[in-house]
Copies of this chain bind each other. A is one copy, B any other.
């Protein structure tokens, strides 16, 4: 009995060594190699590796042992081709070097990796053209789903419709579009504006300006609407001079602030729909020795880390990037579970949080 075991082991060793030699020639190990070593079919190997009930424990153990020895790594392409899914999820963001997006991505990855998915990250750099090419790339790579935040430039939705037409789950976050009728995760922009205006009013401000994003982008439109309605609510008049549309870059924030300073009747507070633009505005104010918040109070949006680094620190809105990432990933997983993909407008709206800092806080 023991002798047989030893002989068997020796036999196995011999076969193994032959294959290990092959390994060194750099050809990757396949289930066929494992099958050959053990003199069983590739089907048995495949089943053993997936713990199929129709394979004996002994065989499973042997298969796994040999797989380890031969340093076997499953060929993802082959199984993906056969199963019709790639276990890859595409992510499109305007850019990765903003803290908001990189945090969203990190959390998407964390949730999806646990479920065996990998993500492919692409950047649109706020360009519609680049975004289209990203979509093509992702579809070409046979991703199982796409999680995206739209570029500033994007107005035409044709390319996104293409994703839907392919029957691939599409989930939008932050920068979305109602018209696409797909899942969306974001914060309550309309409400955020209210919170900001309320805060400024409580600080005694009477002439509150708003440097907003492009009106055609929903989130920025909501922030503008919120601003307008909040003014009304607090009995403040709406002055069109005080409502500007911007690309929200640092440079444009500076430029739009300069415009506001040219007015005969300057604002005493400025709410800017993006932190980078708020930074530009602050830099100009600092250079001109206009006191913040005493002369003009400043509020940004996004809670980028630098808002806590500059002087004075900038009041901003925390967008709950981690939660947005998680929810986006979970929403995708919901779709992935279902056989039929039934896309519909299903919004998850998170409450935003105002982080009050020096740029708007008069320490009385």
Contact = CB atoms under 8 A, between A and B. Distances in A.
Interface in A236-285: 279, 283
A103 B141 CA distance: 24
Interface in A298-317: 305-306, 309-311
Nearest to A105: B96
B102 A99 contact: no
Interface in A10-34: 26, 28
B75 A81 contact: yes
A142 interface: yes
Contacts of A98: 97
- Which range contains the number of A residues in contact with the other chain? 35 or more
Interface string A306-350: 100111000000000000000000000000000000000000000
A74 interface: yes
B118 A141 contact: yes
Given A26-B167, A121-B121, A167-B26, A95 B86 contact: no
Nearest to A26: B167
A139 interface: yes
Contacts of A105: 96, 123
25 contacts: A28-B166, A73-B139, A73-B140, A75-B142, A76-B141, A77-B81, A78-B81, A81-B81, A96-B96, A96-B97, A96-B102, A97-B97, A97-B99, A97-B102, A106-B125, A109-B123, A113-B137, A118-B120, A118-B137, A120-B121, A121-B121, A279-B309, A286-B311, A309-B310, A310-B311
A97 B93 CA distance: 13
Most B CB contacts (10 A, CB to CB) among A99, A103, A122 go to: A122
